[in-house]
Amino acid sequence: MTTTSTITTIPGYLAGTWTIDPVHSDVGFTVRHMMVSKVRGRFARFEGQIVTGANPADSTVTASIDLASIDTNNAQRDDHVRSADFFEVEKYPTMTYRSTSVRQDGGDLILDGELTLKGVTKSVPLRLELNGFGPDAYGGTRAGFTATAEINRRDFGVNFNAAIETGGAVVSDKISIHLEVEAVLAV
């Protein structure tokens, strides 16, 4: 399979179980606001595990994000996003991702998986970039990944919106997801 030859040509590729390092990782998103700009946000608390297979196509990912940890650089907006209008964190405190397969799409790698938000599970493929594998300064081994995706928030029951007087909506339906993940190999 071409996936195996592509992935294993990455210097230092290792099969193993990896824990996502939240101190050196970032889980973020971008959404259009008021039809004229983009608001960026991130989640401060998340955890996950990556298992890189001897056959890279057998690799898996699981992750959980604490929705209450949202940070858009505006406390009032963050409180509103935590409310029933958006995430409803009292009832649905986490968002989860579980991969279902790894595949090659031309020159790109795709991590297929299921995203669960507000009790709704949908297929969300992540476009994956393997940034490398190597030793860290503490005697361990690290791996780095970048992943991106787009979702429609309404697919997950996040339906709140207000119309703008000149037309359009306060918050777009399309959400761009961007992940920078550094993981530590379990010993």
Number of domains in the chain: 1
Contact present, 38 and 31 (Cβ < 8 Å): yes
**119 phi-psi bin (left φ>0, alpha ψ -120 to 50, beta other):** left
Q: Determine the length of the chain.
A: 187
In eight-state DSSP terms, residue 139 is S
List of residues 6+ apart from 160 with CB closer than 8 A: 85, 86, 171
How many Å apart are CA 138 and CA 155, to the nearest integer? 43
Provide the pLDDT confidence category of residue 114 given band limits of 50, 70 and 90. very high
Q: What's the whole-model pTM score?
A: 0.88
Contacts of 20 (CB under 8 A, 6+ apart): 46, 47, 48, 49, 50, 63, 181, 182, 183
What is the rounded average pLDDT of the residues 46-53? 96
pLDDT at position 107, please? 80
The pLDDT mean for the chain works out to 87
pLDDT at 71: 97
The enclosing domain of 70 has a CATH number of 2.40.128.110
Domain of residue 152, residue span: 2-185
Q: Which residues contact 41 (CB under 8 A, 6 or more apart)?
A: 28, 29, 30, 31, 70, 71, 72, 73, 81
Q: Return the pLDDT at 5.
A: 44
